[in-house]
Amino acid sequence: MAIDFWKKLISKSFPTILFVASLLVIYKFTNIFHSQTPVVVITPTPTISAPPSEVPDYDAYNNMQNKITIADSVNSYSPKRPDGSIEIDGRVRKQLIVSGEFSRIYLYVKVSVDNGKPLTQWDSIFMSFGGQGGHLFRPDSLRVPNDSETQLLYALNQVPVISLPYSKNKTPTVLDWFKIFHDGAIVNFDSFLSTLRPGGEIKLIQLGYECAPSKDCEIR
């Protein structure tokens, strides 16, 4: 009787024992009952680069701490006299005193004709430093922001000039005015608008400059 009892008990318990054993095997090899640490995916923040400037030289000039204004709001034009000669009204002449050593110098010019309009093919601006000069060749200006009046920007070591009559089809002479600006120099400046019509104005002529590394410099 005892043997029969145990046989019946084992037969009834076998499915339960088998189920528990299966769970132990699954636990052993898959570890499904352990809590899983969540995987955190870190997406790198994309680096946003500033777009390149369309007017890098103008930005460099505009950010310069050292500037000297040579002319500001000067009415200027060059009418013909009855005898055919040219009379210059509003000519700008100055002496610039230079000291120290420079790493770079920019020349910035803003002018207009006909009371606020850009220069036409019939107009130009004459400029001279140290006795070397000519009419600024506008097609070779460094790039500047759009404006309703004529803006010109040049590195002072490469300034293109031509003689009259003004034409964008001419081949300019390139002047190196930068070498004139050395320590102790006195530089004579001369400029005027070459236009026959009243209403011309030299809005601004300015030099922006930086000193050589570890050096002092000044233009006054």
For residues 93 and 198, membership in a common domain is answered with: yes
pLDDT (mean) for 66-86: 93
Distance CA 78, CA 140 (A): 24
**Count: domains in the chain:** 2
Specify the CATH number for the domain of residue 150: 2.60.120
For residue 137, tell me if it sits in a domain: yes
For residues 138 and 190, membership in a common domain is answered with: yes
Distance CA 55, CA 144 (A): 6
For residue 44, tell me if it sits in a domain: no
pLDDT tens figures, 128-184: 999 999 999 999 999 999 999 999 999 999 999 999 999 999 999 999 999 999 999
pLDDT tens figures, 92-118: 999 999 999 999 999 999 999 999 999
For residues 64 and 166, membership in a common domain is answered with: yes
Position 23 scores a pLDDT of 52
Bigger pLDDT: 171 or 20? 171
Domain that holds residue 10: 1-34
Bigger pLDDT: 38 or 74? 74
pLDDT tens figures, 191-216: 999 999 999 999 999 999 999 999 99
Position 211 scores a pLDDT of 98
For residue 48, tell me if it sits in a domain: no
Q: Residue 103's CB: how many other CB atoms inside 10 A?
A: 11
Rounded to the nearest integer, the mean pLDDT of the chain is 87
- Please check the confidence at residue 35 and state whether its pLDDT lies above 60: no
| Burial of 157: CB neighbours in 10 Å, binned 0-12, 13-18, 19+ | middle
- Please check the confidence at residue 37 and state whether its pLDDT lies above 60: no
For residues 30 and 71, membership in a common domain is answered with: no
Of the pLDDT bands very low, low, confident and very high (cuts 50, 70, 90), residue 2 is: low
